[in-house]
Structure 1
Amino acid sequence: MTTSAITIQEITALPQMLAQHHLIQQLNPDMTFARYQELLEQMLPHNYRMVGAFAGETCVGLSGYWVSTKLYSGKYLEIDNFVVDETYRAKGIGKILSDWLHQEAKRHNCQTLMLDAYATNSAAHRFYFREGFIIKGYHFLKSV
């Protein structure tokens, strides 16, 4: 497979998004289908969007994203749940998705791209550094 055989398509309908559960599970192994559907139904009214990298009819890479504004960053595109199928990694698909998201940010007149990466995911860190991302700060969580 060559990267020229990859097409990028926005995934706009909930059923299409739900069909990608298997990819989301590679990033979040404990994410049940029911929980995935519940979260998407909460996120979609708040302008959550999704894009996929397809080899033919098969989605082999995926990223959600949001466009919004924060005081420290200005208008931004936030990458959410960026994942490439395990069997397709190291084939340039992540780069293709990242480039598409960068162009989408430009299209929306964003000043920045941002994302969260799990602290333990060193392979993702290397990829994001190669793509020109820097560490700006920490993302803190507290359960309620």
Structure 2
Amino acid sequence: MFKIDFIDQKDKQTIIPFLSKLDSSISVQTLNERLNDMFSNGYQCIGIYDDTKLIGISGLWILTKYYIGKHVEPDNVFILPEYQGKNLGKQLVEWIFDYAKSIDCEGSELNCYSKNEAGQKFWESQGYKVVGYHYQKKF
């Protein structure tokens, strides 16, 4: 049986292997430092569990922007490959939407890498629409 629940900041080490799979170029030390900053700035993370085994994660940001209002932003969603294709992504999104509605969010937005065609297809199947581009510049 699969369950979805919040991951406490004290258990952030369980998140690191998933984030490393998303981007192996970021060191574990840097991930730890960034997670500390993120949690202190309102970041939350939820996990998908197969019994007690963590098999997937999604970061969550609750934000307010003028063009969408109070909303939830799923961030760095990753499910272990051997668990993909079992409708867990859909269950995860439903859980996120239910949580967001319970705290009076008006909607949801997210970023998806332009090269991630499977991710784009998934998010569109969950009702998301492409409304712009996400730009980044590193200093």
Q: TM exceeds 0.5?
A: yes
Counterpart AA for 2:4: I
- For residue 12 of structure 1, what is the aligned residue in structure 2? 8
Whether 1:128 and 2:119 are equivalent positions in the alignment is no
| Structure showing greater relative contact order (alpha-carbon pairs closer than 8 Å, 6 or more residues apart) | 1
- For residue 98 of structure 1, what is the aligned residue in structure 2? 93
Query: Aligned equivalents of 1:142 and 1:20: distance in 2?
Result: 26
Whether 1:49 and 2:44 are equivalent positions in the alignment is yes
Whether 1:23 and 2:3 are equivalent positions in the alignment is no
Query: Aligned equivalents of 1:26 and 1:85: distance in 2?
Result: 9
Residues 11 and 50 in structure 1, CA contact (< 8 A), matched pair in contact too: yes
Listed as ranges, the gaps of 5+ residues in structure 2 are none
TM-score by length of 1: 0.92
CA offset at residue 49 of structure 1?
0.3
Secondary structure of residue in 2 paired with 1:41: helix
Match of 1:107 among 86, 102, 105: 102
Identity %: 28
- For residue 84 of structure 1, what is the aligned residue in structure 2? 79
Match of 2:35 among 27, 40, 59: 40
What is the RMSD of the two structures over their aligned residues, measured on CA atoms? 1.1
Residues matched between the structures, number: 139
Query: Aligned equivalents of 1:23 and 1:98: distance in 2?
Result: 18
Secondary structure of residue in 1 paired with 2:130: coil
- For residue 139 of structure 1, what is the aligned residue in structure 2? 134
Query: Aligned equivalents of 2:103 and 2:129: distance in 1?
Result: 21
TM-score by length of 2: 0.95
Provide, for residues 28-53 of structure 1, a one-character-per-residue CA deviation record: whole Å limited to 9, x for no partner.
22232111110011111111000000
Give 4+ residue runs of structure 1 displaced > 2 Å after superposition.
Answer: none
Counterpart AA for 1:111: E
Residues 52 and 63 in structure 1, CA contact (< 8 A), matched pair in contact too: yes
